C-alpha cells in the first residue's frame, strides 16, 4: 500500500462503469475541481505533493485509471484508443456530481485528458499536459503530421515493451539489482539522474500496482514481416497508444476551446524527439537490429508533433502556453514541484 501524505484521503467511487479509486485533500469538497490523471506504470500516488500545493480554493482529485492503483482492473479495449480510460474518468466525475473541472494529465494521462477534451470540451475549464504522449500516439509514425511508417503500425503497441522489465513488474521487484527493475527504471527515466525522489519507495510501490498481462500492461501484440517484427494487438495499455487506435490531431475543431498549458522537462527521455523508448530511435542507435534507415524509419518526433497540433489549436482561436523546465526529466511535478505548481496555478487562474 502506498503511504498517504498528511491531508490526503482515499476513497472508492462507484460509477456506472466501474469502481474507481481516488485521492482527495481533506476539507476541500466545495472547491473548484482539479482532476489529476497519472501516467503509465504509476498511479494517483504520484500526484500527492501537487495536490497539497494547491490553494484552498481548489478541490484536488487524483484518479487511478483501470488496471492501476486501487481502481477495478477491468480489461482495456485498445481498439478504442484511450477511450476506456477517458470514459472511466468522465463516469467518475459524474458520480462525484462534477460537470466541469480543470484537467491535468501526465504522459499517458495527457492522452486521456486530450481524449476527454476532444469528446467533452465543455467538461474542461483548463487543460494541463505534463510531458504528454504525442497526439499521434507512441511509435510507428514519422514527421510533424504523424505519417504512418507502416499500415499495420509496426514498431508500436504491446510488443515494444522490455520483457525483463515486464517480468520484474509482475514479480513485484523492489530491488535495485537490475537496470530493468522498476526502481532503476524510475531513477533512470521517470526523473533525470541523479535526482532521487524523497518518496522513492512509495513511488516504486505505486508502479507495482500496475496489472500485468495482455489485458493491461503491456498488452498483446502480433508479428509482422515489417521491421522491427512486432505490430499492435487489440488489448492492453501500450496498444491504446498505437497510431491505428489513437489519433488526436483535430483539437482545432473543438468548441469551446479552454486554455491549455503544456509543461515538460527539457531532458525527458521517454516523450522526446529522440525517445529511448521509441524502437525507431533505438534502431538508429543500433540497439534494435535490422533498422531500415533514416529515410523510412526516423525517430518519432513526439515533441514536434505535439507542438504542431497545439499550433493549429491556437490558429483556430484556442490558447496554449508551452513551459519547458530545465534540468528535468519526465516528471516535472516530482522533480521541480515549485516550478510546476507556479505554471499550473497560472493556467488555473485563467479558467
Residue 323 belongs to a domain with what CATH number? Answer: 3.40.50.1820
Contact 54, 8 (CB under 8 A): no
- Cis status, amide bond into 218, omega within 30 of 0: yes
Residue 163: alpha-carbon gap to chain centroid: 21
User: Using alpha carbons only, what angle is made at residue 316 by residues 315 and 319, rounded to the nearest 5 degrees?
Assistant: 70
Domain extent at residue 157: 8-349
Convert 62-90 into a string of H (helix), E (strand) and C (coil): EECCCCCCCCCCCCCEHHHCCHHHHHHHH
Q: Which three cell numbers stand for residue 246?
A: 489513437
**Residue 114 within any structural domain of the chain:** yes
| CB contact set of 165 (below 8 Å; sequence gap of 6+) | 180, 181, 182, 185
Percentage, residues of the chain above pLDDT 70 = 100
| pLDDT tens-digit readout, 47-106 | 999 999 999 999 999 999 999 999 999 999 999 999 999 999 999 999 999 999 999 999
Cis check for the bond before 194: say yes or no (omega within 30 of 0): yes
CA pair distance 316, 95, nearest whole angstrom: 33
In this predicted structure, the answer to whether residue 260 has a pLDDT above a threshold of 90 is yes
Query: What are the DSSP calls for 80-121, one per residue?
Result: GTTHHHHHHHHHHHHHTT-S-EEEEEETHHHHHHHHHHHH-G
Residues β-bridged to residue 324: 264
The percent of residues in the chain predicted with pLDDT above 90, rounded, is: 99
DSSP label at 290? T
Give the number of other Cβ atoms within 10 Å of residue 184's Cβ: 18
Give me the chain's average pLDDT, please.
97
- Say if 3 falls within a structural domain: no
Which tens digit of pLDDT belongs to each residue from 92-144? 999 999 999 999 999 999 999 999 999 999 999 999 999 999 999 999 999 99
Confidence (pLDDT) at 1 = 61
User: Can you give the length of the chain in residues?
Assistant: 351
pLDDT tens readout for residues 263-292: 999 999 999 999 999 999 999 999 999 999
Whether residue 127 is contained in a domain is answered as yes
Q: Is residue 2 domain-resident?
A: no
Q: Among candidates 320, 310, 332, 336, which has minimal Cα distance to 265?
A: 332
Q: How far apart (Å, rounded) are the C-alpha atoms in residues 309 and 285?
A: 28
Alpha carbon distance 272, 152 (integer Å): 23
Residue 2's pLDDT band, with cuts at 50, 70 and 90, is: confident
* Backbone CA torsion sign across 2, 16, 220, 146: negative
295 CB-near residues (< 8 Å, 6+ apart): none
* C-beta of residue 116 within 8 angstroms of C-beta of residue 100: no
Report yes or no: 255 and 121 within 8 Å, Cβ to Cβ. yes
Q: Within a domain: residue 109?
A: yes
Determine the pLDDT at residue 94: 98
Number of domains forming the structure of the chain: 1
pTM over 0.95? The answer is yes
Please say whether the beta carbons of 209 and 43 come within 8 A. Answer: yes
For position 128, what pLDDT does the model report?
Answer: 98
pLDDT at 77 (0 to 100): 98
Position 351 scores a pLDDT of: 85
Which residue shows C-alpha cell 504509476? 42
Amino acid at each position: 500500500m502506498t503511504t498517504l501524505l498528511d491531508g490526503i484521503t482515499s476513497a472508492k467511487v462507484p460509477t456506472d462503469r466501474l469502481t474507481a479509486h481516488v485521492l482527495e485533500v481533506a476539507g476541500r469538497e466545495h472547491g473548484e475541481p482539479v482532476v489529476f490523471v497519472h501516467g503509465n506504470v504509476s498511479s494517483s500516488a504520484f500526484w500527492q505533493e501537487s495536490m497539497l500545493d494547491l490553494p484552498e480554493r481548489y478541490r484536488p482529485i487524483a484518479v487511478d485509471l483501470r488496471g492501476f492503483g486501487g481502481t477495478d482492473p477491468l480489461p482495456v479495449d485498445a481498439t478504442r484508443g484511450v477511450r476506456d480510460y477517458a470514459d472511466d474518468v468522465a463516469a467518475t466525475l459524474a458520480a462525484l456530481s462534477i460537470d466541469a473541472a480543470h484537467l491535468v494529465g501526465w504522459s499517458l494521462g495527457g492522452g486521456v485528458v486530450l481524449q476527454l477534451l476532444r469528446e467533452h470540451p465543455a467538461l474542461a475549464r483548463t487543460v494541463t499536459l505534463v510531458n504528454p504522449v504525442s497526439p499521434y500516439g507512441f511509435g510507428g509514425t514519422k514527421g510533424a503530421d504523424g505519417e504512418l511508417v507502416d499500415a499495420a503500425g509496426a514498431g508500436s503497441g504491446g510488443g515494444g515493451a522490455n520483457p525483463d522489465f515486464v517480468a520484474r513488474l509482475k514479480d513485484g521487484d523492489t530491488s535495485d539489482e537490475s537496470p530493468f527493475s522498476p526502481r532503476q527504471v524510475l531513477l533512470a527515466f521517470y526523473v533525470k539522474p541523479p535526482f532521487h525522489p524523497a518518496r522513492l519507495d512509495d513511488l516504486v510501490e505505486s508502479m507495482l500496482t500496475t496489472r500485468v498481462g495482455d489485458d493491461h500492461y503491456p498488452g498483446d501484440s502480433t508479428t509482422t514481416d515489417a521491421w522491427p517484427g512486432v505490430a499492435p494487438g487489440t488489448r492492453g495499455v501500450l496498444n491504446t497508444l498505437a497510431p491505428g487506435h489513437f489519433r488526436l490531431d483535430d483539437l482545432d475543431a473543438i468548441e469551446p476551446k479552454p486554455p491549455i498549458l503544456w509543461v515538460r522537462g527539457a531532458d525527458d527521455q521517454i516523450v522526446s524527439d529522440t525517445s529511448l523508448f521509441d524502437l525507431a530511435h533505438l534502431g538508429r542507435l543500433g540497439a534494435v537490429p535490422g533498422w531500415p534507415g533514416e529515410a523510412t524509419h526516423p525517430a518519432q518526433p513526439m515533441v514536434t508533433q505535439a507542438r504542431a497540433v497545439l499550433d493549429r489549436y491556437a490558429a483556430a482561436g484556442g490558447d496554449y502556453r508551452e513551459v519547458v523546465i530545465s534540468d528535468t526529466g519526465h516528471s516535472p511535478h516530482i522533480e521541480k514541484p515549485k516550478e510546476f505548481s507556479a505554471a499550473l496555478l497560472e493556467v488555473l487562474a485563467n479558467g
